[in-house]
């Protein structure tokens, strides 16, 4: 008599994961599953589902990194069980976070980079909230000391990313947003002067506008505020939202003054996971000096074995992204970052030239490192009817997997639809040439088959990265 049923064992060994019982039926979607399934089966079914998301590398909407060096992936694995907040338990990781903060203070020309303060966050959104909160606290202290009311704070900004709308709503701040105009997409010094008063907690220029990719002019705005102070005494702080530009301008446009070289700039936020090149899940806020972060905002948590100063909205947070960010700083240095980003800008320039040569579009930003981030933004010229919209073009490109968003501007320019390609390090020159070929095919198709009812914003697939 056989000791075991050989055929049954062979069946078990050879069975394709798809032939197993677990995957022979649809799994529960919205109620908590009753029974366990094997890890391989669970893995397969989830891997297959996220495959339907499309290919991140072809996502030309996102500013966030979609490619990492293998060493980063290894470091992320080593750090998978480290909680950033447990600084007593993981003192070296905490030290790495501190070092990275001071490196950025140095990169952004803080007067005493080794002694300033800053923190990692889950992304720029949290970093903006923290920079904005500190500005609100400083303003309140100034107003209280001068015996003035503190109940009507406002902030002045251009066409900001949605996080600033959240900030204004969550912390009860009047937002004085300079609306875009059809011929002007950014905030000018005069726009700022027209809106500030003694209740202005800060002015927020964006280094890399989400809508167009262009830099707002930090220095002219700071100069105008300096003059205002010299004339009337109103002293208004600047927080720079450098989500994208914070890791571009220092390497590719080092002479442009937008950072702590301008004394009025009190804090800067940036996304490590965008042009900082770290994997998703890290942003930073850095203060000009220790005094710009009011003590009252720092919580001293007596927890897990020691006094822990925290200035963050999240508590538990993965440490891997911070370790990876430090790896990028060490591995690339200023030279490496410049080389990576120069190549990205050059690919953007190539795309801008190709799109210009198509002869039917008007460029709003052409991946010029002196005026903005590596991206190309274009529109159909005013009054021109091509027989299709940019939404139709976006839809057509999606057939080949490319995600090239079309969306409208804002304010008084909200009737203008634009389309944008964000160029990241992994959008190589060769990949860009393949995109151009598909772009030309898409145009040829739309020209041969004009759309009888062109798609509008409401019908398009949507674009949620503003
Ligand atoms: C100018 C600007 N600020 C803030 C953010 C928010 O950044 P994060 O996605 O890192 O939270 C973005 C994101 O695109 C941005 O472009």
Cα 125 to averaged position of ligand 1 atoms, centre (Å): 6
* Ramachandran angles phi, psi of 145, nearest 5°: -65, -30
Same domain, 251 and 140: yes
Q: State pLDDT tens for residues 76-96.
A: 999 999 999 888 889 999 999
Same domain, 115 and 208: yes
Predicted confidence at residue 161, as pLDDT, reads 96
Indicate whether 262 belongs to any domain. Answer: yes
In angstroms, rounded to a whole number, what is the distance separating the alpha carbons of residues 181 and 73?
A: 44
Indicate whether 246 belongs to any domain. Answer: yes
In angstroms, rounded to a whole number, what is the distance separating the alpha carbons of residues 44 and 23?
A: 9
Cα 146 to averaged position of ligand 1 atoms, centre (Å): 35
Indicate whether 423 belongs to any domain. Answer: yes
Q: Which helix (H) or strand (E) holds 309?
A: strand 306-310
Same domain, 284 and 229: yes
Give Cα 186 to chain centroid, integer Å.
18
Same domain, 11 and 79: no
Same domain, 322 and 353: no
Indicate whether 464 belongs to any domain. Answer: no
Same domain, 30 and 110: no
Indicate whether 49 belongs to any domain. Answer: yes
Indicate whether 63 belongs to any domain. Answer: no
Q: Please provide the size of the chain in residues.
A: 466
Q: Which of 328, 360, 390 is the last residue of a domain?
A: 328
Same domain, 170 and 243: yes
Best mutation site among 60, 62, 63 for ligand 1 pocket (most ligand atoms within 8 Å of CB): 63
Same domain, 132 and 262: yes
- Domain count within the chain: 3
DSSP sequence for 113-140:
GGG--EEEESSHHHHHHHHHHHHHHHHH
Eight-class DSSP state of 53: T
Same domain, 81 and 114: yes
Q: Domain range for residue 436?
A: 345-459
Task: Determine the 3-state secondary structure of 334 from DSSP.
Answer: helix
Same domain, 261 and 378: no
Predicted confidence at residue 17, as pLDDT, reads 84
**Low-confidence residues of the chain, pLDDT below 70?**
1-15, 302-308, 460-466
In angstroms, rounded to a whole number, what is the distance separating the alpha carbons of residues 134 and 138?
A: 6
Q: Cβ of 227: how many Cβ atoms within 10 Å?
A: 12
DSSP sequence for 283-302:
EEEEESSGGGS-GGG-EEEE
Same domain, 26 and 128: no
Indicate whether 391 belongs to any domain. Answer: yes
Q: Which two tokens stand for residue 180?
A: 């875009």
User: Which protein residue's CA is at the shortest distance from atom 16 of ligand 1?
Assistant: 210
Same domain, 439 and 386: yes
The CATH number of the domain holding residue 120 is: 3.40.640.10
Q: Nearest-CA neighbor of 464 among 55, 66, 49, 59?
A: 59
Indicate whether 340 belongs to any domain. Answer: no
Query: Using a 6 Å CB cutoff, which residues line ligand 1?
Result: 63, 123-125, 128, 161, 163, 206, 208, 210, 241, 243-244, 271, 283, 465
The CATH number of the domain holding residue 362 is: 3.90.1150.160
Burial class (CB in 10 A: 0-12, 13-18, 19+), 342: middle
* Ramachandran angles phi, psi of 143, nearest 5°: -65, -45
DSSP β-ladder status, 200-204 and 154-157: parallel
Q: State pLDDT tens for residues 243-268.
A: 999 999 999 999 999 999 999 999 99
């Amino acid at each position: 008599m056989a000791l075991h049923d050989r055929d049954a064992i062979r069946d078990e060994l050879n069975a394709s994961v798809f032939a197993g019982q677990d995957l022979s039926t649809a799994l529960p979607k919205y109620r908590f599953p009753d029974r366990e399934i094997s890890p391989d089966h669970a893995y397969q079914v989830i891997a297959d589902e996220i495959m339907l998301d499309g290919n991140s590398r072809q996502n030309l909407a996102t500013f966030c990194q979609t490619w990492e060096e293998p060493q980063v992936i290894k470091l992320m694995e080593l750090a998978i069980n480290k909680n950033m907040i447990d600084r007593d338990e993981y003192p070296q990781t905490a030290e790495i976070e501190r070092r990275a903060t001071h490196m950025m203070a140095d990169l952004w020309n803080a007067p005493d980079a080794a002694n300033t303060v800053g923190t990692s966050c889950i992304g720029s959104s949290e970093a903006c909230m923290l920079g904005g909160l500190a500005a609100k606290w400083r303003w309140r202290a100034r107003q209280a000391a001068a015996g003035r009311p503190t109940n009507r704070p406002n902030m002045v900004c251009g066409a900001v990313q949605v996080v600033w709308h959240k900030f204004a709503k969550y912390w009860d701040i009047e937002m004085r947003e300079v609306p875009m105009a059809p011929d002007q997409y950014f905030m000018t010094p005069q726009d700022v002067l027209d809106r500030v008063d003694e209740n202005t907690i800060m002015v927020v220029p964006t280094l890399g506008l989400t809508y167009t990719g262009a830099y707002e002019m930090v220095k002219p705005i700071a100069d105008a505020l300096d003059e205002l102070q010299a004339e009337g005494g109103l002293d208004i702080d600047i927080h720079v939202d450098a989500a994208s530009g914070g890791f571009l301008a220092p390497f590719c446009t080092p002479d442009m003054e937008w950072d702590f070289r301008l004394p009025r700039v009190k804090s800067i936020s940036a996304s490590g996971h965008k042009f900082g090149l770290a994997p998703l899940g890290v942003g930073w806020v850095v203060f000009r000096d220790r005094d710009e972060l009011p003590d009252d905002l720092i919580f001293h948590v007596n927890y897990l074995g020691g006094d822990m100063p925290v200035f963050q909205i999240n508590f538990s947070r993965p440490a891997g992204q911070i370790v990876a960010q430090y790896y990028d700083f060490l591995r690339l240095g200023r030279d490496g970052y410049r080389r990576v980003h120069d190549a990205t800008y050059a690919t953007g320039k190539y795309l801008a030239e190709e799109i210009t040569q198509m002869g039917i579009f008007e460029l709003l930003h052409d991946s010029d490192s002196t005026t903005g981030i590596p991206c190309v933004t274009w529109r159909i010229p005013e009054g021109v009817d091509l027989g299709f919209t940019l939404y139709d073009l976006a839809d057509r490109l999606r057939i080949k997997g490319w995600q090239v968003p079309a969306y409208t501007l804002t304010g008084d320019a909200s009737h203008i639809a634009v389309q944008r390609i964000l160029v990241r390090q992994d959008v190589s020159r060769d990949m860009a040439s393949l995109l151009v070929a598909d772009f030309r095919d898409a145009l040829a198709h739309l020209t041969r088959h004009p759309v009888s009812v062109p798609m509008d914003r409401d019908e398009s697939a949507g674009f949620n990265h503003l």
